[in-house]
Amino acid sequence: MFWILINCFGISVCIWVYYKWTRVKRYWAEKGVPHLTPHPILGSLSFLQRENPGVWMRKIYENHKHPYLGVWWFWRPALIVNSPDIARNVLVKDFPVFRDRFLSSGKTDPIGGLNLFTTNDPLWSWIRRRLAPIFTASKLRALQNLFDTKSKELIQRINNEKDKTKINLKIVFTDFTTDIIGIASFGIASDSTLTGEGPMRTVTHGFMNFDLYRGLCWSNIEVSEDVIVAQAAAFVLGGFDTSGSSLTMAIYELAFHPQIQDKLYKEIKQEVDDGTGILNVTKLAEATYLNCVIKETLRKFSPMGWLDRVALNDYRVDENLIISAGTPVYINAIGMQYDPELFPEPERFIPERFLPENKMDIKSFTYMPFGDGPRNCIGQRFAVL
């Protein structure tokens, strides 16, 4: 009798799973939405461990010429948006519906789950209001001496290593950005720009290495302390690697385009360098071609190729589609930034596309390396400096 009950239970579970899966895989088809064919376990996530998510997003954009595409994160339906007009609605016009992000570190990581990048309302609004004054123009200009010192140390580091067969630029630049963020944010002195070592560099080296244990334990400290620690961690994690990677790729592109390098050098010598050996941050911000080089680097090598949001209630995407509350929505920014109709010859490094006279050629909400709308990157100006 016992085994009969076990068998009946097993059959019932199998029937329920099959019925559930049948409903899941028909979800987007029943709404008339173009969609990928889901894997029975992973949904649309079968590319994981095989392909970079940013590359996958580009392929989605190139292979599916639709304003949006239905996918599944395991069995959860999600929507990828390839349209700048819908992106504007999600990120700005209808922001109250999309205040929250779907990305989360989970309940087992209270520190990761409470930082500005991943937390949701009402805590997100509270944190954002209190962190915004940190990034005012006057406070950023006050970092002039720090930028000067660390830039000189960076040059010294490169000179010290120039006889090596190879220099790992990513390591050198993340040593540099770690020092700047550590001193600017926490007042922690560090010489990792020169030596590759320091207290903050030990921390960021840990961030660069995947650890299965990370995020699997609970914290016993008070929530208020959790929030403070979470923002500190976000400042470091969100800045040192993204800025270091952008510097690396900018140098990489300049090395292959000496004519662009020469043009940039001449602009800095003529418009920024006053003979003191100090590059004034205010003048740098006004250097037209320098900013074009930065923007083109971020177009080709965006720190994050998509922007995720989650619908707080049922939402009409267009006249053909209403998505349910709780549906994750992903703006395919990297796909649009490689669209040849929006950015001709997207594989080429062409800073001139961002010159003031070409500004009107760039459609709104097709270039978003720092996000857009009220939840854009709070440290954008700091990162560019």
Pairing of strands 76-81, 328-331: parallel
Pairing of strands 68-73, 315-318: unpaired
Residue 280 contacts residue 272 (beta carbons within 8 Å)? yes
Rounded Cα distance, 348 and 346, in Å: 5
Residue 90 contacts residue 78 (beta carbons within 8 Å)? no
Q: Count other C-beta atoms under 10 Å from residue 255's C-beta.
A: 10
Structure tokens at 211: 């650890």
Sheet holding 307-310: strands in order across? Answer: 68-73, 76-81, 328-331, 307-310
Residue 82 contacts residue 335 (beta carbons within 8 Å)? yes
Chain centroid to CA 180: how far? 20
Closest CA to 66 of 318, 372, 300, 381: 318
What are the residues facing 330 on neighbouring strands?
Answer: 80, 308
* Phi-psi sector, 345: left (phi>0), alpha (psi -120 to 50), beta: left
What's the count of helices (H) and strands (E) in the chain, helices before strands?
16, 6
Four-residue CA torsion sign, 144, 148, 151, 153: negative
Closest CA to 148 of 16, 278, 249, 330: 278
Residue 313 contacts residue 327 (beta carbons within 8 Å)? no
SS3 of residue 24 by DSSP: helix
- 377 appears as a binding residue in the annotation: yes
Structure tokens at 349: 């490094």
Task: Enumerate the known binding-site residues for heme.
Answer: 377
Task: Enumerate the known binding-site residues.
Answer: 377
